[in-house]
Amino acid sequence: MPETPHVPPHSLEAEKSVLGSVMIEKNAIIKIADILHPEDFYYDTHSLIYQAMEELFAKRSPLDILTVSTWLKDNGKLDEVGGQSYLEELTNDVLTASHVFQYALIVKQKATLRKLITSGSNITALGYKEDEDVDELVDQAEQELYKVSQTFLRNRFVHIKEVLSQTYEKISELHDPETAKKYQGLQTGFGSLDNILTGLQNTDLVILAARPSMGKTALALNVAQNIAQHGKSVGLISLEMSKEQLVERLFVSLLAVDSWKMKSGKLSQEDFMRMGQVMDSLNNSKIFIDDSVGSSIAELRAKARRLQMEHGLDLLIVDYLQLMSIGKSGTSITNRVQEISEISRNLKGLARELHIPIMALSQLSRAVESRPVKIPQLSDLRESGAIEQDADVVLMMYREDYYEEDTDRAGITDIFIRKHRHGAVGRIELLFKKEQMRFYDIDRKHSFADLPVEAL
């Protein structure tokens, strides 16, 4: 016997009950208008009827069998849906409209299953496009599934009392040392910075910006080390340095030796004795490095999703933002400023999607060098004001000894918190030992009131 073709998921009874409920109860449409749309109905006739209901609701017209049939007749669709008699059948089959929301959920669930089937077919078709970039195709496939996941039941308005008790509970727990820790973000390992930021928060885009050679890669690696020491998983996307160079820096930092001594073979016997401990520490840390050249935002998304799925991902670090591209999907972008804007928006979206903080390193423009006071400002973010807009936290690095050799602040790095969406801004000081590629917390923090006016 021939196989019976698969019938897509649907519920005739639920679709009829939704439509009948709307026509017998004037407020029923209000309960479902935000979750249900004409394309969610399996039967074309039902889709047309619900379209009429949406149109009438948008015009604030009353909704009943007469107004719906009139709209369908005026638009030449009444006979197409089965005429007046079918509308009467819909209303006669529903005893009460009190369950209209539950009926709508069933219709929406079936529609989501059908979209999943369609997405599966689309993904299958992508697999045959052998001439196209594989990373782009994988990203398109992931986007197909993501679109399906976003179609079913977005959040609705809730009364404030539903959130109030949760907020009170959170405030109470924040004031209890034993429970406050669960609301802290990832601890960077620098106490003065963590005190201001309360750690790196999930969904946040954190920008770490500086002029070249200020030590932003070293600081990012130190943060990665500190977070990984607590069993967290850190992903490093490096577009500037190779994975070998990054691991060497991590090694030097943990060993706390002069990098020149390591490269020139001048390590002491004591240094060699400590190597085993450093090796064990790095071996046991969940730090994952990707040094692919020319990474596009599509490729980055795909790799980050895969890393989170396979090994977990608590923090993603991108070094650095201006070396990224948006790939083939960005052919309509006409200039670099637009491209960087698109990249920063995508990074923020990825942070929200993966529910992790993303730290993106960024170059500052040369405008800093032309000023008498070379302390960086938000306006110095290179190539795009959108970086400032999309970021939740903007950290800017400044070393006085970079510009003045005989300064009495040698080794001191100022970290300016120029933007902090969730709290205070200010300035902290870290000690940077350049030869070790390592920062040390000296636990000094300041407000912007401590700075000269021209530096604000």
pLDDT greater than 60 at residue 381: yes
pLDDT greater than 90 at residue 297: no
Closest C-alpha among 358, 357, 354 to residue 312: 354
pLDDT at 445: 53
Torsion of CA 367, 371, 377, 379, to 10 degrees: -40
**Cα–Cα distance measured from residue 365 to residue 382, given in angstroms and rounded to the nearest whole number:** 5
434: left (phi over 0), alpha (psi -120 to 50) or beta: alpha
pLDDT greater than 60 at residue 333: no
Contact 384, 348 (CB under 8 A): no
pLDDT at 454: 46
Characterize the bridge pairing of strands 286-290 and 233-238: parallel
Same domain as 257, residue 347: yes
With respect to residue 133, please indicate whether it lies within any of the assigned structural domains: yes
Summarize the confidence of residues 100-118 as an average pLDDT: 89
Which has the higher per-residue pLDDT, 300 or 325?
Answer: 300
Domain that holds residue 84: 12-151
One-letter amino acid at 323 equals: L
Which has the higher per-residue pLDDT, 296 or 99?
Answer: 99
pLDDT greater than 50 at residue 387: yes
Distances (CA, A) of 60 to 39, 57, 63, 167, 215: 21, 5, 9, 37, 61
pLDDT at 42: 92
Same domain as 279, residue 195: yes
With respect to residue 165, please indicate whether it lies within any of the assigned structural domains: no
With respect to residue 175, please indicate whether it lies within any of the assigned structural domains: no
Summarize the confidence of residues 372-385 as an average pLDDT: 75
With respect to residue 393, please indicate whether it lies within any of the assigned structural domains: yes
DSSP 120-179: HHHHHHHTT-TTS-HHHHHHHHHHHHHHHHHHS-------HHHHHHHHHHHHHHHTSHHH
Same domain as 370, residue 279: yes
pLDDT at 294: 60
240 is an active site residue: yes
Same domain as 267, residue 126: no
Same domain as 217, residue 106: no
Same domain as 199, residue 140: no
The CATH number for 137's domain is 1.10.860.10
Same domain as 138, residue 255: no
Same domain as 197, residue 144: no
383: left (phi over 0), alpha (psi -120 to 50) or beta: left
Kindly provide the b/e burial profile for residues 330-344, where b requires at least 16 CB atoms within 10 angstroms of the residue's own CB: beebeeeebbbbbbb
| Structural domain count, the chain | 2
The mean pLDDT of the chain is 81
pTM of the model: 0.63
- Radius of gyration of the CA atoms of the chain, in A: 29
The model's pLDDT over 121-152, given as tens digits with 9 standing for 90+, comes to 888 888 888 888 887 788 788 777 766 766 65
pLDDT greater than 70 at residue 384: no
One-letter amino acid at 370 equals: S
Same domain as 68, residue 23: yes
pLDDT at 107: 92
The CATH number for 329's domain is 3.40.50.300
pLDDT greater than 60 at residue 92: yes
With respect to residue 1, please indicate whether it lies within any of the assigned structural domains: no
With respect to residue 123, please indicate whether it lies within any of the assigned structural domains: yes
Contact 385, 207 (CB under 8 A): no
Summarize the confidence of residues 231-247 as an average pLDDT: 85
With respect to residue 178, please indicate whether it lies within any of the assigned structural domains: no
**Listed residues 98, 123, 151: the one ending a domain:** 151
With respect to residue 96, please indicate whether it lies within any of the assigned structural domains: yes
**Listed residues 100, 132, 151: the one ending a domain:** 151
Catalytic, out of 240, 353, 388, 400: 240
Same domain as 274, residue 338: yes
Identify the weakest region by mean pLDDT among 79-93, 131-145, 261-275.
Answer: 261-275
Q: To which residue do tokens 């990249």 refer?
A: 343
Residue 86: cis peptide before it, omega within 30 degrees of 0: no
